[in-house]
Structure 1
Protein backbone atom coordinates (compact mmCIF):
# COMPACT_ATOMS: atom_id res chain seq x y z
CA UNK A 1 0.00 0.00 0.00
CA UNK A 2 1.12 3.56 -0.71
CA UNK A 3 1.11 5.78 2.34
CA UNK A 4 -0.76 9.07 2.57
CA UNK A 5 2.44 11.13 2.24
CA UNK A 6 3.17 9.51 -1.12
CA UNK A 7 -0.38 10.01 -2.33
CA UNK A 8 -0.22 13.70 -1.46
CA UNK A 9 2.78 14.03 -3.78
CA UNK A 10 0.47 13.34 -6.73
CA UNK A 11 -2.34 15.71 -5.88
CA UNK A 12 -3.15 17.88 -8.86
CA UNK A 13 -1.25 15.75 -11.39
CA UNK A 14 -3.01 16.03 -14.73
CA UNK A 15 -0.32 14.67 -17.11
CA UNK A 16 1.27 11.25 -16.65
CA UNK A 17 4.49 10.72 -18.60
CA UNK A 18 5.96 7.25 -19.09
CA UNK A 19 9.26 6.10 -20.52
CA UNK A 20 8.86 3.01 -22.70
CA UNK A 21 11.64 0.41 -22.60
CA UNK A 22 12.15 -1.31 -19.23
CA UNK A 23 9.45 0.94 -17.74
CA UNK A 24 6.13 -0.13 -19.26
CA UNK A 25 7.34 -3.73 -19.48
CA UNK A 26 9.72 -5.61 -17.15
CA UNK A 27 13.40 -5.64 -17.97
CA UNK A 28 13.40 -9.45 -17.63
CA UNK A 29 11.95 -9.68 -21.15
CA UNK A 30 15.38 -8.45 -22.32
CA UNK A 31 13.99 -6.56 -25.27
CA UNK A 32 16.75 -4.07 -24.57
CA UNK A 33 19.25 -6.88 -25.13
CA UNK A 34 18.00 -7.21 -28.71
CA UNK A 35 18.13 -3.46 -29.26
CA UNK A 36 21.63 -3.38 -27.83
CA UNK A 37 22.88 -6.17 -30.09
CA UNK A 38 21.35 -4.68 -33.24
CA UNK A 39 22.84 -1.31 -32.36
CA UNK A 40 26.28 -2.87 -31.90
CA UNK A 41 26.07 -4.58 -35.28
CA UNK A 42 25.01 -1.38 -37.01
CA UNK A 43 27.82 0.60 -35.40
CA UNK A 44 30.35 -2.08 -36.37
CA UNK A 45 29.27 -1.97 -40.02
CA UNK A 46 29.02 1.81 -40.11
CA UNK A 47 32.45 2.43 -38.59
CA UNK A 48 34.14 -0.62 -40.09
CA UNK A 49 35.27 -1.97 -36.73
CA UNK A 50 34.88 -5.24 -34.84
CA UNK A 51 31.73 -5.87 -32.78
CA UNK A 52 33.83 -5.58 -29.64
CA UNK A 53 35.17 -2.18 -30.67
CA UNK A 54 31.71 -1.08 -31.73
CA UNK A 55 30.32 -2.00 -28.32
CA UNK A 56 32.87 0.23 -26.59
CA UNK A 57 32.02 3.17 -28.85
CA UNK A 58 28.30 2.54 -28.49
CA UNK A 59 28.37 2.58 -24.69
CA UNK A 60 30.71 5.56 -24.54
CA UNK A 61 28.37 7.63 -26.71
CA UNK A 62 25.32 6.40 -24.78
CA UNK A 63 26.77 7.69 -21.53
CA UNK A 64 28.17 10.95 -22.87
CA UNK A 65 25.42 11.98 -25.29
CA UNK A 66 22.27 10.40 -23.84
CA UNK A 67 21.94 7.98 -26.77
CA UNK A 68 24.45 6.18 -28.95
CA UNK A 69 22.59 7.64 -31.92
CA UNK A 70 23.23 11.22 -30.80
CA UNK A 71 26.94 10.49 -30.42
CA UNK A 72 27.15 8.92 -33.85
CA UNK A 73 25.37 11.87 -35.42
CA UNK A 74 27.69 14.39 -33.76
CA UNK A 75 30.94 12.49 -34.12
CA UNK A 76 30.41 10.79 -37.50
CA UNK A 77 27.50 12.46 -39.29
CA UNK A 78 25.30 9.36 -39.10
CA UNK A 79 21.93 9.44 -40.92
CA UNK A 80 19.47 8.56 -38.11
CA UNK A 81 16.62 7.10 -40.21
CA UNK A 82 18.23 3.80 -41.33
CA UNK A 83 19.83 3.44 -37.90
CA UNK A 84 16.47 3.66 -36.12
CA UNK A 85 14.82 1.30 -38.60
CA UNK A 86 17.53 -1.32 -38.16
CA UNK A 87 17.85 -1.09 -34.37
CA UNK A 88 14.12 -1.32 -33.69
CA UNK A 89 13.48 -4.31 -35.97
CA UNK A 90 13.21 -6.64 -32.97
CA UNK A 91 11.23 -9.73 -32.00
CA UNK A 92 8.36 -8.80 -29.66
CA UNK A 93 6.96 -12.31 -29.29
CA UNK A 94 8.02 -12.53 -25.64
CA UNK A 95 5.94 -9.49 -24.70
CA UNK A 96 2.50 -10.37 -23.37
CA UNK A 97 -0.55 -8.14 -22.94
CA UNK A 98 -0.71 -6.49 -19.53
CA UNK A 99 -4.41 -5.96 -18.74
CA UNK A 100 -3.69 -5.05 -15.12
CA UNK A 101 -1.31 -2.27 -16.17
CA UNK A 102 -3.74 -1.13 -18.87
CA UNK A 103 -6.54 -0.83 -16.31
CA UNK A 104 -4.28 1.02 -13.86
CA UNK A 105 -3.24 3.54 -16.52
CA UNK A 106 -6.81 3.96 -17.73
CA UNK A 107 -8.09 4.99 -14.29
CA UNK A 108 -5.54 7.78 -13.89
CA UNK A 109 -7.15 11.21 -14.29
CA UNK A 110 -5.86 13.41 -17.10
CA UNK A 111 -3.56 12.88 -20.07
CA UNK A 112 -1.16 9.98 -20.49
CA UNK A 113 1.93 10.30 -22.72
CA UNK A 114 4.87 8.12 -23.70
CA UNK A 115 8.24 9.87 -23.89
CA UNK A 116 11.00 7.69 -25.33
CA UNK A 117 14.50 8.08 -26.74
CA UNK A 118 13.51 5.41 -29.25
CA UNK A 119 11.35 5.70 -32.35
CA UNK A 120 7.60 6.28 -32.51
CA UNK A 121 7.07 3.12 -34.55
CA UNK A 122 8.94 1.03 -31.99
CA UNK A 123 6.82 2.55 -29.23
CA UNK A 124 3.59 1.82 -31.10
CA UNK A 125 4.71 -1.76 -31.77
CA UNK A 126 5.49 -2.34 -28.10
CA UNK A 127 2.35 -0.61 -26.83
CA UNK A 128 0.23 -2.65 -29.22
CA UNK A 129 1.79 -5.91 -28.01
CA UNK A 130 1.22 -4.90 -24.38
CA UNK A 131 -2.38 -3.93 -25.05
CA UNK A 132 -1.67 -0.33 -24.10
CA UNK A 133 -1.98 1.36 -27.50
CA UNK A 134 -5.31 3.02 -26.80
CA UNK A 135 -4.34 4.43 -23.43
CA UNK A 136 -1.91 7.14 -24.49
CA UNK A 137 -2.72 10.45 -26.15
CA UNK A 138 0.64 10.64 -27.94
CA UNK A 139 4.16 9.25 -28.25
CA UNK A 140 7.03 11.74 -28.11
CA UNK A 141 10.01 10.04 -29.73
CA UNK A 142 13.58 10.93 -30.58
CA UNK A 143 12.54 12.32 -33.98
CA UNK A 144 9.97 14.65 -32.39
CA UNK A 145 12.74 15.72 -30.03
CA UNK A 146 14.87 16.60 -33.07
CA UNK A 147 17.35 14.01 -31.79
CA UNK A 148 17.96 15.78 -28.48
CA UNK A 149 17.70 12.87 -26.03
CA UNK A 150 16.87 12.59 -22.39
CA UNK A 151 18.41 13.46 -19.95
CA UNK A 152 19.26 16.91 -21.38
CA UNK A 153 17.14 19.84 -20.26
CA UNK A 154 16.68 20.96 -23.86
CA UNK A 155 15.03 17.62 -24.64
CA UNK A 156 12.56 17.99 -21.78
CA UNK A 157 11.76 21.58 -22.65
CA UNK A 158 10.98 20.53 -26.22
CA UNK A 159 8.72 17.79 -24.89
CA UNK A 160 6.87 20.12 -22.52
CA UNK A 161 6.29 22.71 -25.24
CA UNK A 162 5.19 20.15 -27.82
CA UNK A 163 2.46 18.75 -25.58
CA UNK A 164 1.57 21.79 -23.49
CA UNK A 165 2.60 20.08 -20.27
CA UNK A 166 2.74 22.09 -17.05
CA UNK A 167 5.57 20.35 -15.17
CA UNK A 168 4.23 21.17 -11.72
CA UNK A 169 1.08 19.27 -12.64
CA UNK A 170 2.85 16.26 -14.16
CA UNK A 171 4.52 13.01 -13.09
CA UNK A 172 7.38 11.18 -14.81
CA UNK A 173 8.02 7.41 -14.68
CA UNK A 174 11.47 6.17 -15.72
CA UNK A 175 13.80 3.20 -15.29
CA UNK A 176 16.95 5.38 -15.33
CA UNK A 177 17.43 7.67 -12.35
CA UNK A 178 19.50 10.18 -14.31
CA UNK A 179 16.50 10.81 -16.57
CA UNK A 180 14.54 12.08 -13.57
CA UNK A 181 16.91 14.85 -12.49
CA UNK A 182 15.65 17.51 -14.91
CA UNK A 183 11.95 16.62 -14.51
CA UNK A 184 12.31 16.92 -10.74
CA UNK A 185 14.04 20.28 -11.03
CA UNK A 186 11.23 21.50 -13.29
CA UNK A 187 8.66 20.51 -10.68
CA UNK A 188 7.44 17.10 -11.84
CA UNK A 189 6.76 14.25 -9.42
CA UNK A 190 9.31 11.54 -10.25
CA UNK A 191 9.04 7.76 -10.00
CA UNK A 192 11.89 5.33 -10.61
CA UNK A 193 10.68 1.96 -11.90
CA UNK A 194 13.04 -0.89 -11.00
CA UNK A 195 12.86 -4.60 -11.74
CA UNK A 196 12.14 -6.88 -8.76
CA UNK A 197 14.48 -9.54 -10.18
CA UNK A 198 17.13 -7.11 -11.42
CA UNK A 199 20.64 -8.38 -12.09
CA UNK A 200 23.07 -5.53 -11.66
CA UNK A 201 25.85 -7.31 -13.51
CA UNK A 202 23.69 -7.34 -16.64
CA UNK A 203 23.70 -3.56 -16.85
CA UNK A 204 26.20 -0.75 -17.19
CA UNK A 205 27.18 0.20 -13.63
CA UNK A 206 26.61 3.92 -14.27
CA UNK A 207 22.96 3.19 -15.05
CA UNK A 208 22.42 2.68 -11.33
CA UNK A 209 23.87 6.05 -10.37
CA UNK A 210 21.47 8.53 -8.78
CA UNK A 211 19.00 6.02 -7.37
CA UNK A 212 19.42 7.47 -3.89
CA UNK A 213 19.38 11.08 -5.12
CA UNK A 214 16.84 13.63 -3.91
CA UNK A 215 15.46 14.01 -7.44
CA UNK A 216 13.98 10.49 -7.21
CA UNK A 217 10.75 11.06 -5.29
CA UNK A 218 9.49 7.48 -5.36
CA UNK A 219 10.75 4.01 -6.27
CA UNK A 220 8.60 1.03 -7.23
CA UNK A 221 9.18 -2.48 -8.53
CA UNK A 222 5.45 -2.88 -9.26
CA UNK A 223 4.29 -0.19 -11.65
CA UNK A 224 0.76 -1.54 -12.01
CA UNK A 225 0.33 -1.76 -8.24
CA UNK A 226 1.72 1.73 -7.73
CA UNK A 227 -0.64 3.21 -10.33
CA UNK A 228 -3.61 1.30 -8.95
CA UNK A 229 -3.18 2.99 -5.60
CA UNK A 230 -2.80 6.40 -7.19
CA UNK A 231 -5.88 5.92 -9.34
CA UNK A 232 -8.03 4.69 -6.49
CA UNK A 233 -7.10 7.66 -4.36
CA UNK A 234 -7.14 10.40 -7.02
Structure 2
Protein backbone atom coordinates (compact mmCIF):
# COMPACT_ATOMS: atom_id res chain seq x y z
CA UNK A 1 0.00 0.00 0.00
CA UNK A 2 1.31 3.43 -0.92
CA UNK A 3 2.47 5.79 1.82
CA UNK A 4 2.29 9.54 2.44
CA UNK A 5 4.80 10.35 -0.28
CA UNK A 6 2.75 8.83 -3.09
CA UNK A 7 1.63 11.29 -5.75
CA UNK A 8 -1.19 10.43 -8.12
CA UNK A 9 -1.33 12.33 -11.40
CA UNK A 10 -4.65 13.89 -12.33
CA UNK A 11 -5.99 13.82 -15.86
CA UNK A 12 -4.73 17.38 -16.13
CA UNK A 13 -0.98 16.83 -16.23
CA UNK A 14 -0.32 20.36 -14.94
CA UNK A 15 -1.77 19.40 -11.55
CA UNK A 16 -0.91 16.75 -9.01
CA UNK A 17 -3.16 15.05 -6.48
CA UNK A 18 -1.54 14.11 -3.19
CA UNK A 19 -2.47 10.82 -1.59
CA UNK A 20 -2.00 10.49 2.15
CA UNK A 21 -2.65 7.93 4.88
CA UNK A 22 -4.59 9.60 7.67
CA UNK A 23 -7.01 7.19 9.27
CA UNK A 24 -10.57 8.20 10.22
CA UNK A 25 -10.84 10.36 13.33
CA UNK A 26 -13.25 9.87 16.22
CA UNK A 27 -15.39 12.76 14.97
CA UNK A 28 -15.69 11.12 11.57
CA UNK A 29 -16.50 7.71 13.04
CA UNK A 30 -19.06 9.12 15.45
CA UNK A 31 -21.00 10.66 12.57
CA UNK A 32 -20.45 7.82 10.09
CA UNK A 33 -20.56 4.92 12.54
CA UNK A 34 -20.53 2.26 9.81
CA UNK A 35 -17.81 3.91 7.75
CA UNK A 36 -15.25 1.15 8.34
CA UNK A 37 -17.69 -1.72 7.84
CA UNK A 38 -17.31 -3.60 4.56
CA UNK A 39 -19.50 -4.98 3.26
CA UNK A 40 -22.18 -2.80 4.83
CA UNK A 41 -24.79 -4.73 6.88
CA UNK A 42 -28.04 -4.96 4.91
CA UNK A 43 -30.03 -3.26 7.67
CA UNK A 44 -27.83 -0.14 7.81
CA UNK A 45 -29.51 2.87 6.21
CA UNK A 46 -27.55 5.53 4.35
CA UNK A 47 -27.74 9.15 5.53
CA UNK A 48 -28.45 10.38 1.99
CA UNK A 49 -31.38 8.26 0.80
CA UNK A 50 -33.45 7.96 -2.33
CA UNK A 51 -36.83 9.70 -2.47
CA UNK A 52 -35.90 12.08 0.36
CA UNK A 53 -37.21 15.60 -0.20
CA UNK A 54 -34.57 16.96 2.20
CA UNK A 55 -31.67 15.91 -0.02
CA UNK A 56 -29.42 18.79 -1.10
CA UNK A 57 -27.77 18.54 -4.49
CA UNK A 58 -25.80 20.59 -7.01
CA UNK A 59 -24.37 20.20 -10.50
CA UNK A 60 -20.59 20.29 -10.94
CA UNK A 61 -17.54 18.83 -12.65
CA UNK A 62 -15.04 16.78 -10.67
CA UNK A 63 -11.87 16.83 -12.69
CA UNK A 64 -12.99 16.50 -16.30
CA UNK A 65 -16.12 14.51 -15.47
CA UNK A 66 -19.57 16.14 -15.08
CA UNK A 67 -21.80 15.29 -12.13
CA UNK A 68 -25.34 16.21 -13.09
CA UNK A 69 -26.48 15.66 -9.51
CA UNK A 70 -23.93 15.67 -6.67
CA UNK A 71 -25.23 15.50 -3.11
CA UNK A 72 -24.26 17.49 -0.01
CA UNK A 73 -24.52 16.45 3.65
CA UNK A 74 -23.99 19.70 5.54
CA UNK A 75 -23.40 17.81 8.81
CA UNK A 76 -20.80 15.33 7.53
CA UNK A 77 -17.23 16.04 8.74
CA UNK A 78 -15.76 14.68 5.48
CA UNK A 79 -16.09 14.74 1.71
CA UNK A 80 -16.39 11.15 0.50
CA UNK A 81 -15.81 9.36 -2.80
CA UNK A 82 -15.79 5.68 -3.70
CA UNK A 83 -12.64 4.02 -4.99
CA UNK A 84 -14.51 3.03 -8.14
CA UNK A 85 -15.53 6.61 -8.90
CA UNK A 86 -12.07 7.96 -8.10
CA UNK A 87 -10.42 5.45 -10.42
CA UNK A 88 -12.89 6.34 -13.15
CA UNK A 89 -11.94 10.03 -13.15
CA UNK A 90 -8.19 9.66 -12.56
CA UNK A 91 -5.52 8.58 -15.04
CA UNK A 92 -3.78 6.58 -12.30
CA UNK A 93 -6.04 4.91 -9.77
CA UNK A 94 -5.62 3.48 -6.30
CA UNK A 95 -5.93 -0.09 -5.07
CA UNK A 96 -8.04 -1.74 -2.41
CA UNK A 97 -6.68 -1.92 1.10
CA UNK A 98 -6.48 -4.93 3.40
CA UNK A 99 -8.48 -4.91 6.60
CA UNK A 100 -5.98 -4.56 9.51
CA UNK A 101 -7.88 -7.09 11.63
CA UNK A 102 -8.12 -9.65 8.82
CA UNK A 103 -5.56 -9.35 6.03
CA UNK A 104 -7.50 -11.79 3.84
CA UNK A 105 -10.35 -9.28 3.50
CA UNK A 106 -10.71 -5.79 2.04
CA UNK A 107 -11.04 -2.80 4.33
CA UNK A 108 -13.51 -0.05 3.56
CA UNK A 109 -11.09 2.82 4.21
CA UNK A 110 -8.69 3.30 1.28
CA UNK A 111 -7.07 6.65 2.06
CA UNK A 112 -7.47 10.36 1.36
CA UNK A 113 -6.65 12.67 -1.51
CA UNK A 114 -5.86 16.38 -1.45
CA UNK A 115 -6.42 19.04 -4.06
CA UNK A 116 -8.96 17.38 -6.35
CA UNK A 117 -10.45 20.14 -8.50
CA UNK A 118 -14.20 20.74 -8.43
CA UNK A 119 -15.75 23.11 -10.98
CA UNK A 120 -19.10 24.79 -10.34
CA UNK A 121 -19.96 27.03 -13.27
CA UNK A 122 -16.94 29.33 -13.64
CA UNK A 123 -15.85 28.72 -10.05
CA UNK A 124 -12.97 26.38 -9.24
CA UNK A 125 -12.30 24.82 -5.84
CA UNK A 126 -9.73 22.34 -4.54
CA UNK A 127 -11.23 19.70 -2.27
CA UNK A 128 -9.96 16.85 -0.11
CA UNK A 129 -11.80 13.53 -0.16
CA UNK A 130 -11.81 10.36 1.89
CA UNK A 131 -11.77 7.39 -0.49
CA UNK A 132 -13.82 4.34 0.49
CA UNK A 133 -14.24 0.90 -1.03
CA UNK A 134 -18.01 1.21 -0.53
CA UNK A 135 -20.02 4.38 0.14
CA UNK A 136 -23.49 2.85 0.60
CA UNK A 137 -23.54 3.47 4.36
CA UNK A 138 -23.30 7.18 3.49
CA UNK A 139 -25.30 7.54 0.26
CA UNK A 140 -27.70 5.18 -1.49
CA UNK A 141 -25.98 3.71 -4.53
CA UNK A 142 -28.55 4.98 -7.11
CA UNK A 143 -27.71 8.56 -6.06
CA UNK A 144 -24.01 8.20 -6.82
CA UNK A 145 -20.74 7.58 -5.02
CA UNK A 146 -19.72 11.14 -4.10
CA UNK A 147 -20.93 13.16 -1.12
CA UNK A 148 -19.75 16.65 -0.13
CA UNK A 149 -19.64 17.55 3.56
CA UNK A 150 -18.76 20.41 5.92
CA UNK A 151 -15.21 20.81 4.54
CA UNK A 152 -16.72 21.55 1.13
CA UNK A 153 -19.20 24.01 2.66
CA UNK A 154 -16.39 25.86 4.48
CA UNK A 155 -14.17 25.90 1.41
CA UNK A 156 -16.84 27.23 -0.95
CA UNK A 157 -18.87 29.39 1.44
CA UNK A 158 -22.02 27.76 0.08
CA UNK A 159 -25.33 29.05 1.47
CA UNK A 160 -28.28 26.66 1.69
CA UNK A 161 -31.79 28.05 2.14
CA UNK A 162 -33.95 25.10 3.14
CA UNK A 163 -37.23 27.01 2.92
CA UNK A 164 -36.56 28.24 -0.61
CA UNK A 165 -34.72 25.08 -1.63
CA UNK A 166 -31.72 26.98 -2.99
CA UNK A 167 -27.97 26.37 -2.85
CA UNK A 168 -25.87 29.46 -3.63
CA UNK A 169 -22.17 29.89 -4.44
CA UNK A 170 -20.67 33.37 -4.73
CA UNK A 171 -17.31 34.83 -5.74
CA UNK A 172 -16.55 38.52 -6.24
CA UNK A 173 -19.53 39.92 -8.18
CA UNK A 174 -20.80 36.59 -9.50
CA UNK A 175 -23.02 33.99 -7.92
CA UNK A 176 -24.78 30.86 -9.02
CA UNK A 177 -27.89 29.47 -7.36
CA UNK A 178 -29.23 25.94 -7.74
CA UNK A 179 -32.92 25.33 -7.13
CA UNK A 180 -34.25 21.99 -5.89
CA UNK A 181 -36.86 20.75 -8.42
CA UNK A 182 -39.66 20.20 -5.90
CA UNK A 183 -39.26 23.82 -4.70
CA UNK A 184 -39.96 25.32 -8.12
CA UNK A 185 -42.91 27.72 -8.01
CA UNK A 186 -44.40 26.02 -11.05
CA UNK A 187 -44.46 22.75 -9.08
CA UNK A 188 -46.46 24.02 -6.09
CA UNK A 189 -49.54 22.04 -7.10
CA UNK A 190 -47.66 18.72 -7.30
CA UNK A 191 -47.65 16.25 -4.41
CA UNK A 192 -44.04 15.08 -4.50
CA UNK A 193 -44.63 12.55 -1.75
CA UNK A 194 -45.74 10.12 -4.43
CA UNK A 195 -43.12 11.10 -7.02
CA UNK A 196 -39.50 9.99 -7.19
CA UNK A 197 -37.63 13.27 -7.67
CA UNK A 198 -34.14 11.72 -7.73
CA UNK A 199 -34.10 11.61 -11.52
CA UNK A 200 -35.40 15.17 -11.91
CA UNK A 201 -32.48 17.55 -12.60
CA UNK A 202 -32.15 20.63 -10.45
CA UNK A 203 -32.21 24.07 -11.99
CA UNK A 204 -30.04 27.16 -12.08
CA UNK A 205 -31.77 30.36 -11.00
CA UNK A 206 -30.71 33.29 -13.17
CA UNK A 207 -31.47 36.97 -13.56
CA UNK A 208 -32.69 38.38 -16.86
CA UNK A 209 -31.70 42.04 -16.56
CA UNK A 210 -33.35 43.00 -19.86
CA UNK A 211 -36.82 42.02 -18.70
CA UNK A 212 -36.46 42.36 -14.97
CA UNK A 213 -37.66 38.80 -14.43
CA UNK A 214 -36.14 35.57 -13.25
CA UNK A 215 -35.88 32.45 -15.36
CA UNK A 216 -34.92 28.84 -14.78
CA UNK A 217 -32.53 26.85 -16.90
CA UNK A 218 -31.48 23.22 -16.77
CA UNK A 219 -28.49 22.75 -14.47
CA UNK A 220 -26.31 21.54 -17.33
CA UNK A 221 -26.58 25.00 -18.93
CA UNK A 222 -25.02 27.01 -16.16
CA UNK A 223 -26.17 30.62 -15.84
CA UNK A 224 -25.16 33.31 -13.39
CA UNK A 225 -26.83 35.84 -11.16
CA UNK A 226 -25.03 39.15 -10.97
CA UNK A 227 -24.44 40.42 -7.46
Larger Rg: 2
Shorter-normalised TM range: under 0.3
Structure number having the greater strand percentage: 2
Normalising by structure 2, what TM-score?
0.25
Query: Which structure is richer in relative contact order (CA contacts within 8 A, separation 6 or more)?
Result: 1
Q: TM-score of the superposition, structure 1-length normalised?
A: 0.24
